[in-house]
Amino acid sequence: MRLSLTFNWEVYIRPLLSVKGKDGDRPGGLEDSILDVDSLALPFTKRTLANGLHVVVHEDHHVPIVAVNLWYHVGSKNEQPGRTGFAHLFEHLMFEGSEHHNTGFFPPIQQAGGLLNGSTNTDRTNYWEVVPTSAVDRALWMESDRMGFLLPAVTPERFENQRDVVLNERRQNYENRPYGLAVVALTATLFPETHPYHWPTIGSADDIRAMRLEDVQAFFRTFYHPANASLTLAGDIDTDRAFDLADAYFGELPPGPLPAKVGATAELGSEVRLVLEDRVEMPRLYMAWLSPAMFDQGDAEMDLLGDLLANGKTSRLYRTLVYERRVALDVSAYQRSQELAGSFLLVATAAPGGSLPDIAAHIDEELQRVVDAGPSSDEMERARAQVEAHFMYRLQTVGGFGGKSDQLNAYNVFRGDPGFFAADVSRYHDATTSGLRAVAARVLAFDRRVVLSVVPSGRRDLALSDSALVSVS
């Protein structure tokens, strides 16, 4: 049953939610916060088809569009050392055609007035379309065809062509981009060779070249099937009709075996200093720590810490390094939340006349102040407000990256609960000054981090002392 089938907006209603503060050691009680956590919810209905496909429906008829959002619980962490890059390769192959639509995936959706895209990270692969209500059948048919009937269209020629595309993408985004290999070097040092976060999502160039078509086919059969997927339909669609359509297009597909869960641990016992020579003009300093995994205790606090340290011109490190001392051109910090383990990254680019050792000393002073005294009341309020604004932003659209459909799928895949939105916001809403200080003291130890100096080629003298030369390919 393979049928065919036309608005083009992603503008969405903006829910306005008021807020209540709580007592405790949260400075100021946050009576002026923008969110009422207790009232925040994304209404949904969830069912599971007989073949194991999770289907989540969020009904909202403000705008005549429907978001179709499909997550597969597979990313680069499901690969093996020496056999990396498979998940990202399928992000490309899935747009090239399937058995009953053996050509590009973009034109039929775009001709109907829709938008579409996809992405891969360490823990999941997602594909989405936002289409006029009248075109939802087309989007579902095409998604189901590439889930159930992709491999007959993956010819040796198509496989080799997309492998070359990925290799070129790797050259553009990593090898030939200034500072492009820095994070690859960091993660390869943070996580041991056997850990599934040791390699980049795109895979190593040698592994990509060594791929065989039969290995790629086996990877698809293992991970890209209904029992390892979650489908969300959000927007202008009746709930019962949404489930009927999901069953009609996906219900006949075989479930496939549930993949084995991946488990791994990582630990740093000392500070590791590295230097990477690159075709760059200004030296740049990276610091990285192992940190709590996604949704684990301390994950939200590290998010807030990244904001108060380096998000915006009033943040501590921007004010110190860029505005007052003028030793850095920019500075950023963020918690990278992942399913098995997190990492906290801090990055600063030296200004003309600024040195990496000087920048590192000022950063360490600021980190020590956070550990010793914690953030101020104003800093906690600002950091929490920034996070809450981010949550609000994600409520503005039904589809796309980070929209309502994406959020529902993320919570369903990683928490087993599409309704985790309010609980997620509460992690930040209930964060305390003392709690943030304790997590910072536990995570940001000076003797358990990777410090990477990226310097212009031939200028290793600009790196921090005792830095070992690292080569990344």
Mean pLDDT of the chain: 90
Q: How confident is the model over 318-364, as pLDDT tens digits?
A: 999 999 999 999 999 999 999 999 999 999 999 999 999 999 999 99
Report, as an integer, the average pLDDT of 220-225. Answer: 98
Which domains, and CATH codes, for the chain? 41-250 (3.30.830.10), 272-469 (3.30.830.10)
pLDDT > 80? residue 308: yes
pLDDT > 60? residue 27: no
Report, as an integer, the average pLDDT of 261-283. Answer: 96
What is the β-pairing status of strands 450-456 and 54-59?
unpaired
Report, as an integer, the average pLDDT of 292-305. Answer: 97
Of 14 and 49, the one with more pLDDT? 49
The candidate with the shortest Cα–Cα distance to 120, out of 224, 259, 16, 48, is 224
pLDDT > 60? residue 10: no
Of 346 and 257, the one with more pLDDT? 346
Sheet strands (E) in 191-327: 229-235, 272-278, 284-291
Q: Report the pLDDT value the prediction gives residue 6, as an integer from 0 to 100.
A: 27
Report, as an integer, the average pLDDT of 144-148. Answer: 98
Is 185 in a helix, a strand, or coil?
Answer: helix
Q: Starting at the earlier edge strand, list the strands of the sheet with 229-235.
A: 45-48, 54-59, 229-235, 65-72, 125-132, 115-120
Chain center to CA of 279:
28
Dist. CA 420–CA 405, nearest whole Å: 13
Dist. CA 58–CA 458, nearest whole Å: 56
Dist. CA 280–CA 293, nearest whole Å: 32
- C-alpha distances (whole Å) from 205 to each of 81, 167, 202, 252 are 13, 7, 9, 38
- C-alpha distances (whole Å) from 57 to each of 8, 192, 411 are 21, 40, 13
Report, as an integer, the average pLDDT of 362-377. Answer: 95
Percent of the chain past pLDDT 70, that is, above it, reads 92
Sheet strands (E) in 279-367: 284-291, 328-336, 342-350
DSSP per-residue codes, 83-139: B--HHHHHHHHTTS-BTTB-S-SHHHHHHTT-EEEEEE-SS-EEEEEEEEGGGHHHH
pLDDT > 60? residue 416: yes
Q: Report the pLDDT value the prediction gives residue 29, as an integer from 0 to 100.
A: 35
271 backbone dihedrals φ, ψ, rounded to 5°: -75, 135
Query: Which of 69-78, 308-317, 407-416 is least confident?
Result: 308-317
Burial 393-431 (b: 16+ CB within 10 A, else e): ebbbbbbbeebbbbbbbbbbbbeeebbbbbebbbbbbeb
Report, as an integer, the average pLDDT of 152-157. Answer: 97
Q: Report the pLDDT value the prediction gives residue 358, as an integer from 0 to 100.
A: 98
The candidate with the shortest Cα–Cα distance to 233, out of 145, 146, 111, 143, is 143
Of 140 and 21, the one with more pLDDT? 140
pLDDT > 60? residue 26: no
To the nearest 10°, report the CA torsion of 235, 241, 242, 243: 150
Q: How confident is the model over 188-220, as pLDDT tens digits?
A: 999 999 999 999 999 999 999 999 999 999 999
Report, as an integer, the average pLDDT of 243-257. Answer: 97
